């Protein structure tokens, strides 16, 4: 399996997980989602060397 296909499967898996969590826990996900967005933003800044 190529790296591109593997990366695609990982992204689809994450997307499905996020959608499932949002459907199962719509209210609980609000706080977690905000924290996740902030964490992801910080991670991207760190990856770029910022």
Report domain extents, the chain.
Answer: 3-47
> What is the C-alpha separation between 48 and 42, in angstroms, rounded?
10
The reported pLDDT for the residue numbered 12 is 93
Check: pTM over 0.75? Answer yes or no.
no
The reported pLDDT for the residue numbered 29 is 59
pLDDT one-digit tens code per residue, 1-50: 688 888 889 999 999 988 887 777 766 656 666 777 788 888 888 888 85
The reported pLDDT for the residue numbered 7 is 87
């Amino acid at each position: 399996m190529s790296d591109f296909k593997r990366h695609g499967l990982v992204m689809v898996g994450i997307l499905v997980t996020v959608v499932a969590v949002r459907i199962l826990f719509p209210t609980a996900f609000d706080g977690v989602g905000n924290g996740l967005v902030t964490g992801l933003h910080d991670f991207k800044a760190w990856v770029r060397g910022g």
